[in-house]
Amino acid sequence: MEEVKVDKWEMYMKIKQLKEQGFKIRRIARKLGISRTTVYKYLEKSPEEMALWEASTKTRTKKLDAYEMIIHTWLSENPDVSSAQIHDWLMEHYPKLIVGESTVRSYVKELREKYAIPKETHQRVYQAIPDPPMGQQAQVDFGKTNQKTPQGKCVKLYFIGFVLSHSRYKYVEWLDRPFTTKDMIRMHEHAFQYFGGMTDELVYDQDALLMVNENAGDLILTKEFQSYREARKLKVYFCRKADPESKGRIENVVGYVKGNFAKHRIFQNIDQWNESCISWLERTGNRKVHNTTKKRPVEVFTLEKQHLKPVIKEITTTSINSSITRTVRKDNTIVYQSNRYSVPLGTYQKDKDVYIEITAENRLVIREQTDGPVIANHIISFERGKLIQDRQHTRDRTKGIAAYISTVSSYFTDEERAKAFLEEIHHRYPRYVRDQLGIVLKMSKASDQRTRDEALCECIKRGIYSASEYSDVLAFIQRQQQQKEEFKRAEEEIKALHGIEPSLLDTQPENRELAQYLDVLKGATKYDTVT
């Protein structure tokens, strides 16, 4: 049934009639679907005052009329947006606008009726529990949202939220990828800095980043979080599964962040997103009056801050034992966050554990010992049920290396020296030794005995132990040999100009006395005179 809008005078007359019939204020409000405050306001007015007031409201301009189009756009694009979020957006986009939330709520309600934009509401019910004393407890939980980019693409964002249980003062930080335990520890430190201290107790959900298993009440924490807990001397409490009431405050914060800050917001980049979230906390999240306490969290926090334990020294993820163990499966893989990651064949032994480390570059580093050499290095997948496999792990690369070295060294005159050279390459490149030996073998086969022996000597002389550099040295020697041969051949092919024999070039001309030439000249003169 469509709701019929009743004007103010008609509403006034109905209230008067019901009051004369003896209805209580509460019953009148319930029957007409209005608040008790509105009933009192109407009853206080005489008919003349009511007429004047109704006439003034029809001609009066409202404070938010100048923002009607932008509010209408927000409501049209996001029909489920709340009036509280509309109020926050107005404060964000128009910092100089001063308007109360009740005014925005009334205006949004009018626009919904005017443009027929209904709103669906979903409410989750929690059981009330008493507030703990100041500084005693903080609650922590994770959340994730799907956001649109300016290009219309959808990205998944992840956040962690902290709330002081007494004052309801909040801290939130985001990532554009799933959290690791190191991320979680780092953001704990950021939250303690934001609060200016830490509480006596922290309440968590049973998250895989924090806890490995629960055995009849005995909690088994991840090794990394256990090290952090001991370093910070944290008292932690994990809620039972399907028991949201134990951490209802942080549940409300997660919902508040999703519904008021993140909902319908466009994602640009993670840094800008985190900056906007801190501004939202200062403007709305920690400044608005809390529905339960009826106080502003920021005002109560000024008192609770005095009861927090001081954080003297920051703890980083590198200052605690960050190694996490995983058991190697029979198929030579380990499981991390529902995905399988390969290790070299032959790694598996019964009940054998390896140590994993998550780097800031989102890579999974695997070692057999905490400070031992890396046996596997994978990019972490955000999917589930995937096999992430290194092609170097598809066969047992520890077998046959000695035979391979013997085969390659047989191409050199001094085999023992060649073996020492190849063993050093094996030591420096254990994971890629087959590739290294393959390059040496290929280049050696393509060259003569003298050249590869000379290249081997040059590499050992200069301390070069790399297949690619051996190839470069070999190529350089071959070029030098080729240039020498070309120069020698050019010398042998030099011929004299015009095909004259070289012996003729050594012939000396005959030398005559000057008197002989004078006699010839004199005779010529005499002959010419007679004529």
Are residues 332 and 345 in contact, defined by beta-carbon separation less than 8 angstroms? yes
> How confident is the model at residue 323, as a pLDDT?
54
pLDDT classification of 232: cutoffs 50, 70, 90? confident
Spell out the SS3 assignment of 456-516.
Answer: HHHHHHHCCCCHHHHHHHHHHHHHHHHHHHHHHHHHHCCCCHHHCCCCHHHCCCCCCCHHH
Q: What is the pLDDT of residue 116?
A: 85
Mean pLDDT of 463-477: 89
Per-residue CA distances from 94 to 101, 327, 337, 492 (Å): 14, 56, 43, 91
Q: Which whole number is the average pLDDT over 328-336?
A: 87
DSSP reduced 3-state for 454: helix
Tell me which residue of 429, 430, 431 sits closest to 468, measured CA to CA. Answer: 429
Kindly state the helix (H) or strand (E) to which residue 374 belongs, with its residue range.
Answer: strand 374-379
* Mean pLDDT on 482-500: 67
Give the C-alpha distances (Å, rounded to integers) separating 421 from 406, 433, 446, 462, 520: 11, 12, 19, 12, 86
Distances (CA, A) of 503 to 408, 488, 500, 508: 55, 23, 8, 11
Higher local confidence (pLDDT), 80 or 489: 80
CB-hemisphere CA count at 13 Å for 461?
Answer: 7
Q: Which residues pair with 286 in a beta bridge?
A: none
Q: Which residues contact 215 (CB under 8 A, 6 or more apart)?
A: none
- Residue bearing the bigger pLDDT, 239 or 437: 437
Sign of CA dihedral 29, 34, 37, 40: negative
**Number of H-type helices and E-type strands within the chain:** 18, 14
pLDDT for the residue 384: 80
Greatest mean pLDDT range, 88-92, 119-123, 349-353? 88-92
- Is the pLDDT at 242 greater than 70, yes or no? no
Q: What is residue 214's predicted lDDT score, i.e. its pLDDT?
A: 44
* Sign of CA pseudo-dihedral 161, 164, 169, 171: negative
- Write down the pLDDT at residue 480: 87
% of the chain with per-residue pLDDT over 70: 80
Helix/strand/coil for 288: coil
- Is the pLDDT at 129 greater than 50? The verdict is yes
In this predicted model, which residue has the larger pLDDT, 29 or 48? 29
* Gap between the Cα atoms of 342 and 116, Å rounded: 58
| Angle at the Cα of 142 from the Cα atoms of 139 and 146, rounded to 5 degrees | 145
Residue matched to tokens 């922590």: 140
| Residue in 32, 24, 29, 25 with CA at minimum distance from that of residue 6 | 32
Which of 60-74, 340-354, 494-508 has the weakest average pLDDT? Answer: 494-508
Q: What value does the mean pLDDT take over residues 390-397?
A: 68
Identify the pLDDT of residue 123: 58
| Three-state secondary structure of 111-132 | HHHHHCCCCCCCCCCCCCCCCC
Q: Give the pLDDT confidence of 259-286 residue by residue, as tens digits.
A: 999 999 999 999 999 999 999 999 999 9
| pLDDT recorded at residue 5 | 46
User: Beta strand pairing status for 363-367 and 137-148?
Assistant: unpaired
Give tens-digit pLDDT for 338-353.
Answer: 789 998 877 888 778 8
pLDDT, position 501: 59
Length of the chain: 531
Q: Please answer whether residues 322 and 366 qualify as being in contact, where contact means their C-beta atoms are separated by less than 8 angstroms.
A: no
Given this model, what pLDDT does residue 52 score?
77
Both ends of the chain: CA-CA distance in Å?
Answer: 154
Query: According to the model, what pLDDT value does residue 394 have?
Result: 67
Q: Over 37-75, what HEC string results? A: HHHHHHHCCCHHHHHHHHHHHHHCCCCCHHHHHHHHHHH
Under 8 Å between Cβ of 464 and 455: no
Contacts of 300 (CB under 8 A, 6+ apart): 166, 167, 168, 169, 293
Of these ranges, 32-46, 239-253, 495-509, the one predicted with the greatest mean pLDDT is: 32-46
The answer to whether the CB of 317 falls within 8 A of the CB of 185 is: yes
Provide the token pair at 348.
């598996």
pLDDT given at position 321: 52
- At 527 the pLDDT is 46
More confident residue, 75 or 121: 75
Q: To the nearest whole number, what is the mean pLDDT of the chain?
A: 82
Residue 471 dihedral angles phi and psi, to the nearest 5°: -65, -40
Pairing mode, strands 339-342 and 333-336? antiparallel
